[in-house]
Homo-oligomer: A and B are copies of this chain.
Amino acid sequence: MEKEVQTNTHELDEETLFVVSQTFKALGDPTRIRILNLLCCEEYSVNDIAEALNLGQSTVSHQLRFLKNLRLVKFRREGTTLYYSSDDDHIMNLLHQAIDHAKH
């Protein structure tokens, strides 16, 4: 797998720019970072997320919808309970790189 080298004279196309900025926007909010970080290794129900992070149920639900739209999380139903988990290893990897970087 070789990588394309992008020269400075070549602008990013509209679509790439949009996807990249949307993705980083998703990671640019403390609440979403906490949720994603929690879902890193384990699935959680909405209420469990709310309880673990001390957030309102509605807040968590709204943010999960945001993350789900970007396909950063997925869910699985069990009765009335929805178990959410991370769904984009690459982006989760970016997040953890940034966390490691920030800690040093």
Query: Closest CB of chain B to A87's CB: distance in Å?
Result: 14
When A5-B51, A51-B5, A52-B6 are in contact, do A17 and B40 touch as well, CB less than 8 Å? no
Assembly CA distance A3 to B6 (angstroms)? 43
The answer, yes or no, to whether A90 is at the interface (CB within 8 Å) is yes
Across the interface, which residues of B come within 8 angstroms of A100, CB to CB? Answer: 3
Category for how many chain A residues contact B: 35 or more
Q: Is the CB of B98 within 8 A of A23?
A: yes
For the residues of A in contact with B, the DSSP-based class is helix
Query: Closest CB of chain B to A51's CB: distance in Å?
Result: 6
Across the interface, which residues of B come within 8 angstroms of A8, CB to CB? Answer: 37-38, 40-42, 52
Task: Report A23-58 residues with CB < 8 Å from chain B CB.
Answer: 23-30, 33-34, 37-38, 40-42, 48, 51-53
With beta carbons under 8 angstroms apart, the residue of B12, B25, B29, B48 that contacts A34 is B12
With beta carbons under 8 angstroms apart, the residue of B30, B33, B40, B94 that contacts A98 is B94
